[in-house]
Amino acid sequence: MVSIRIPGFGHQDIRHVVFDYNGTIARDGILIKGVKEQMEKFTDQVKFHVITADTFGFVKKELCDVDCTLTIIPEKGQAVNKLEYIRQLGPEQTLCVGNGANDRMMLEQACIGIAVLQEEGLAISSLMAADLVIRDILEVFGFFQTPERLIATLRT
């Protein structure tokens, strides 16, 4: 668990991290270099989840040796499926990361929602639903190593 007290934002005990796949931890269906290694560093602190409709069809191959729970959802109703998934985990203990319009509901409901702006872009609806924006997926792992970084950004 990663525990952090953010003045004006609240105390967060993060047990789960839910990633969208394409555009978030993958580019064109291929896992972004460094993501696997960073996930491995923190599996003793948080449980990683990847939820995707698997647009390119590579997700099982790309994540076969990554310590995470993979959930492939249908093309229809992706935003609702992602929201339901984090509701089962407990949104109050789940940090979510995504970039697409289908991520907006989970970003809004998570204890911390992080939108990532990379090559694929970032849907405005997800930008508005998130608590913060990062420019590279590898930056999210810095928050687990140095949680105080979140204080500087999220305190009110």
pLDDT digits (tens, 9 = 90+) for 26-79: 999 999 999 999 999 999 999 999 999 999 999 999 999 999 999 999 999 999
Q: Is residue 153 part of a domain?
A: no
Residue 39: which CATH number? 3.40.50.1000
Q: Per the domain annotation, does 111 fall within a domain?
A: yes
Domain of residue 81 covers 11-134
Query: What pLDDT, in 10s, does the model give residues 99-146?
Result: 999 999 999 999 999 999 999 999 999 999 999 999 999 999 999 999
- Does residue 148 surpass a pLDDT of 90? no
Helix/strand/coil (H, E, C) string of the chain? CEEEEECCCEEEEECEEEEECECCCEECCEECCCHHHHHHHHCCCCEEEEEECCCCCCHHHHCCCCCCEEEECCCCCHHHHHHHHHHHHCHHHEEEEECCHHHHHHHHHCCEEEEECCCCCCCHHHHHHCCEEECCCHHHHHHHHCCHHHHHHHCC
155 assigned to some structural domain: no
Which pLDDT score, from 0 to 100, does residue 39 have?
98
Residue 142 lies in a domain: no
Task: Please give the tally of structural domains in the chain.
Answer: 1
Return the pLDDT at 45. 94
